[in-house]
A and B are shown apart, each in its own frame.
Chain A
């Protein structure tokens, strides 16, 4: 199993947000996590990627055979965990090219490989940019600075393509996308998807799941998964809303 989360409890500033979260993800699978606002989806993503301030009070996160609780975030990233942020951050003055080159070479260094040559790197940038249909010159633009909402999300998928992670968590990557951008993002994911990697897609809309077809759909409420099923569950949620889920919990 690629990722196995057992009874995860996470507190922020002493307030418990995740209250016994369980999830197993195998290589090759696509999982969707849905659930009402404020239920802890982004908190879960932050805990898995090792963000500071998200205190794990109980439980384990097994990834590629080791419990990664306490491991620094950059090491988790270099082990192949990627998060497409719900709110990507701007870094003024740092070009996308410089940023990605630093990231790619950090991973290579972690793996004991020499830095990638400038020529290979430039080639890879071009190729992956094409994958998410970013046509304009991205390399000299500063990280997310002045990007539109949709561009920011495409940029996240572009970075995912560059880093070739084994576990990708997409936190509401579909929010704020127009139909074309949605299709592009989904195409990117589908092209990258293979039997060795896995995706966990956090979303509020069944619409995305028409493009990225999940093997499993989980419904999260109040800090834990309260129901799991196949993609039909997403349709059911779309139809009935979350009220019935809240009752499930009781």
Chain B
């Protein structure tokens, strides 16, 4: 077969509902609702953390108390009672885990149902997975294969215990707790997440991925991911997420930090599929996430690829600081909103190094009564000579009840840099739909086809495992969005 397999994927998409809405019936260890210094001490104690980390949390918390929720985004956010949230919930393992293989079968079954096999023997593709349920990591696969290359990939809590120096060296260096309201909150209460370190000159031979699952009710999820590619290293990392269907809103406030040293490259891909709420806008996840990477050394590279289909409200701007000379940063995004979803998403590219280059491709698709906005900043400091940025922000509207917005900000501090911006807004044309219909393709399927075509430039950037999933998701998300 000489054809590109990514092209052949749009299969029958029959499931009209959010298919990951089930709840796992498992005993869970909760702490009391609410947020204060005692709660933070309790979380830290449960996780058997060293003193310095508790100090970090407390400092973040005290800073958070001085902050107010940001209101600049084009979002309507109902008031959130931060005292009404449970900040730590962990599925109870049946007994003390002696080895990593002794995972509760109920948990394994849950991840199986989500299409994430934690059984290394059964896995066909070479992807190492860190599976996180509520506040803790359930299992990380392929640890041995990775450690042969000196690659550290484990849950954040585990890394704090096993590699405290590395964690201490990098934690909060790209996203300090003073960065914003949600970053401060996360820094105070973060539970688990993934830690990845690829040593000098090592090309990580398999894809790394973390799968986040919210299960327990009334809890928030505050995970923290830290990815470090040391000089000349390479890693491709993927993140996936789902949550049960619940009537109440749940808060998800994560931090992702990426450090790409000299000559290193990090590819970060995510398919965000948190529960978006029902057709009338009831329930769904509030996704308030701070993601940022730094190309610290010369020639370093970072690329963000995101497909955003879930969440009731999304507030997320995966950004890059291009610190080294000749660094490269990319942001590829498809954000789809339907029904009453709201998304305010985009990126920041901060050019500090000379000859640094960045690319922004953003494709927004809005349907139903949703609001979908792109917000971007391209900043070039005066010293950063000869920088390049190309930004393309396209919006596609389905129907006339939804909104698409773009807010591109540019600050260019010198004359030698060239910044280009293109933007389009379009609708799926009647002609295209009829053309498909005339070939026997029903309208819903035609929309899926046209939308996937529209997002092709971004989907092509995803690793194969994700591309399949993403294409199906785009179709499902938009089902029922016309006539």
Residues of A within 8 A of B (CB): 49-52, 72-74, 77-78, 82-83, 85, 88-89, 91-95, 97-99, 101-103, 106-107, 109-110, 115, 118-119, 122, 139-140, 142, 159, 163
How far is A74 from B447 in the complex, measured between Cα atoms in Å? 14
Q: Which of these binds chain A: B182-190, B313-321, B404-412, B435-443?
A: B435-443
Q: Is the CB of B440 within 8 A of A88?
A: no
B432 touches which one: A52, A77, A89 (CB < 8 A)?
A: A89
Residues of A within 8 A of B30 (CB): none
Residues of chain B lying within 8 A (CB to CB) of residue A95: 4, 7
* B8 partner, pick from A83, A101, A142, beta carbons under 8 A: A101
Contacts of A52 in B (CB 8 A): 430, 434
Q: Nearest-CB distance from B53 to chain A (Å)? A: 47
B452 is an interface residue with CB less than 8 A from chain A: yes
Q: Residues of A contacting B435 with CB < 8 Å?
A: 85, 88-89, 91
Tell me the interface secondary structure of chain B in the complex: helix
B1 at the interface (CB under 8 A from A): yes
Contact A118 B8 (CB under 8 A): yes
Does chain A have a CB within 8 A of B449?
yes
**Which B residues touch A88, using CB under 8 A?**
435
21 A-B residue contacts at CB 8 Å?
A: A51-B434, A52-B430, A74-B436, A77-B438, A78-B440, A91-B432, A92-B454, A93-B452, A93-B456, A98-B7, A98-B8, A101-B8, A102-B449, A106-B440, A106-B441, A106-B445, A119-B1, A122-B2, A139-B7, A159-B439, A163-B439
Q: Could you tell me if A93 and B453 are in contact, using CB atoms closer than 8 angstroms?
A: yes
CB-nearest residue of chain B relative to A83? Answer: B438
Given the interface pairs A77-B440, A91-B450, A110-B440, the reply to whether A98 lies near B1 with Cβ below 8 Å is no
Indicate with 1 or 0, residue by residue over B329-361, a CB within 8 angstroms of chain A CB atoms.
000000000000000000000000000000000
Given contacts A101-B8, A163-B440, 7 further A-B contacts (CB under 8 A): A77-B438, A91-B432, A91-B449, A93-B453, A93-B457, A94-B449, A159-B439
- Residue pair A99, B445 in contact (C-beta under 8 Å): no
Q: Is the CB of B8 within 8 A of A140?
A: no
A12 to B439, CA, bound (A): 23
* Shortest 4 CB-CB contacts between residues of A and residues of B: A93-B453, A93-B456, A94-B453, A77-B440
Distance in angstroms from A148 CB to nearest chain B CB is: 18
Instruction: State how many angstroms separate the Cβ of B232 from the closest Cβ of chain A.
Output: 35
Give A250 Cβ to nearest chain B Cβ, in Å. 35
Closest to A46 in B: B434
The docked-state distance in angstroms from the alpha carbon of A156 to that of B244 is: 46
Which interface residue of A52, A77, A91, A109 has the most chain B CB atoms within 10 A?
A91
B10 within 8 A of A: yes
B455 CB–A CB distance under 8 Å: yes
- Which chain A residue shows the least CB distance to B450? A91
Report A-chain residues with C-beta under 8 Å of the C-beta of B437: 50, 72-74, 77
B453→A74 contact, CB < 8 A? no
**In residues 1-55 of chain B, which contact A (Cβ within 8 Å)?**
1-4, 7-8, 10-12
B187: min CB distance to chain A, Å: 40
Q: CA separation between A107 and B437, bound complex, in Å?
A: 11
Which residues of the partner chain B approach A118 to less than 8 Å between Cβ atoms? 1, 3, 8
Bound-state CA distance A227–B15 (Å) is: 53
Instruction: Give complex CA distance A89, B2 in Å.
Output: 27
State whether the Cβ of B431 lies closer than 8 Å to any Cβ in chain A.
Answer: yes
Asked whether B438 lies within 8 Å of A73 as measured between CB atoms, the reply is yes
B450-483 interface code vs A (CB 8 A; 1 in, 0 out): 1011111100000000000000000000000000
Residues of B within 8 A of A89 (CB): 429, 431-432, 434-435
Query: Which B residues are in CB contact (< 8 Å) with A51?
Result: 434
